[in-house]
């Protein structure tokens, strides 16, 4: 876990250093037992005034790299150094849901006989940190594991698909609806209000689409703000009541300008 330790209230560089001195960022590692360990000695250290970190694999070597907002003329960038560990990167392409698969859950199941991690999970987010966005490629570290038994994706609509098996150390693009194994959604989005015109008896979660216009009588419309039927307001600029606003309406207004109104 890489943490930037400085904040900024303005970016007038280098004047900001007079009030907020530069400080070290911190890299923590997790060995399976809390708490996380400070691993300052494992990465090159330099004082900086950075905030917000985004992760991605800019050189496509399979190992994540970091880039951070940094007050000054250059960004702070740390390149991940490859080792003997294996990995896999997954990119989602939605068809029925959003194109980038935002909100989807990815579960990686590895060979249970291997000594590496047997399961790994990630969620596709949009906007994961202050002023930053990680790469939409989801990175999974596999340790010594070289094979993935299955990748399951639960899309935003609730449908779950399974893909695989796959060999490690590759990039995989998974397209919604392209799997041969599709499970019915655990939840169904729709209108759950029984009074609505478009009530969906199969919906388990309301999606805000309820239409109440059928409850209103002639000459009234449904008002979302008040939650009631209100009188339909005719277009005030259609003075001659012919259904459209045109030059004739303007002429009537100009003709009557300055005249007194009857009580």
| pLDDT tens-digit map of 84-108 | 999 999 999 999 889 999 999 999 9
Domain boundaries, the chain: 1-83, 85-186
Q: Among the ranges 28-37, 42-51, 112-121, 141-150, which has the highest mean pLDDT value?
A: 141-150
pLDDT of 15 > 70? The answer is yes
What's the pLDDT band for 248 if we cut at 50, 70, 90?
confident
Do the Cβ atoms of 174 and 91 come closer than 8 Å?
yes
Q: What is the CA radius of gyration of the chain?
A: 29
**What is the per-residue pLDDT for 227?**
74
Query: Which of the four pLDDT bands, split at 50, 70 and 90, describes residue 165?
Result: very high
Q: What is the mean pLDDT of residues 134-156?
A: 92
Reported CATH class of domain 85-186: mainly beta
Confidence grade of residue 164 (pLDDT, cut at 50, 70, 90): confident
The per-residue DSSP string of 199-258 comes to --TT-SEE-S----GGGS-TTEEEETTTTEEEE----TT-TT-SSS--HHHHHHHHHHTT
Assign 3-class secondary structure to 137-206: CEEEEEECCCEEEEEEEECCCCCEEEECCEECCCEEEEECCCCCEEECCCCCEECCCCCCCCCCCCCCEE
């Amino acid at each position: 876990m890489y943490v930037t330790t400085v904040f900024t209230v303005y970016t007038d560089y280098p004047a900001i250093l007079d009030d907020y001195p530069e400080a070290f960022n911190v890299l923590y590692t997790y060995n399976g037992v809390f708490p996380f360990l400070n691993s300052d000695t494992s990465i090159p250290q330099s004082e900086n005034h950075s905030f917000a970190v985004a992760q991605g694999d800019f050189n496509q070597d399979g190992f994540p790299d970091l880039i951070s907002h940094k007050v000054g003329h250059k960004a702070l960038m740390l390149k991940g150094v490859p080792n003997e560990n294996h990995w896999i990167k997954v990119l989602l392409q939605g068809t029925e849901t959003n194109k980038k698969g935002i909100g989807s859950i990815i579960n990686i199941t590895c060979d249970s006989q291997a000594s590496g991690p047997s399961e790994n999970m990630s969620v596709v987010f949009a906007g994961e940190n202050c002023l930053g966005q990680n790469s939409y490629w989801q990175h999974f570290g596999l340790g010594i594991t070289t094979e993935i038994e299955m990748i399951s994706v639960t899309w935003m609509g609730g449908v779950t698909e399974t893909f695989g098996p796959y060999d490690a150390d590759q990039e995989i693009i998974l397209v919604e609806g392209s799997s041969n194994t599709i499970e019915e959604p655990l939840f169904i989005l729709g209108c759950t209000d029984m009074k609505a015109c478009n009530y969906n008896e199969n919906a388990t979660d309301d999606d805000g689409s309820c239409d109440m216009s059928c409850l209103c009588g002639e000459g009234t419309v449904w008002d979302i703000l008040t939650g009631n039927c209100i009188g339909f307001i005719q277009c005030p600029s259609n003075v001659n009541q012919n259904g459209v606003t045109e030059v004739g309406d303007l002429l009537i207004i100009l003709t009557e300008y300055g005249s007194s109104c009857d009580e």
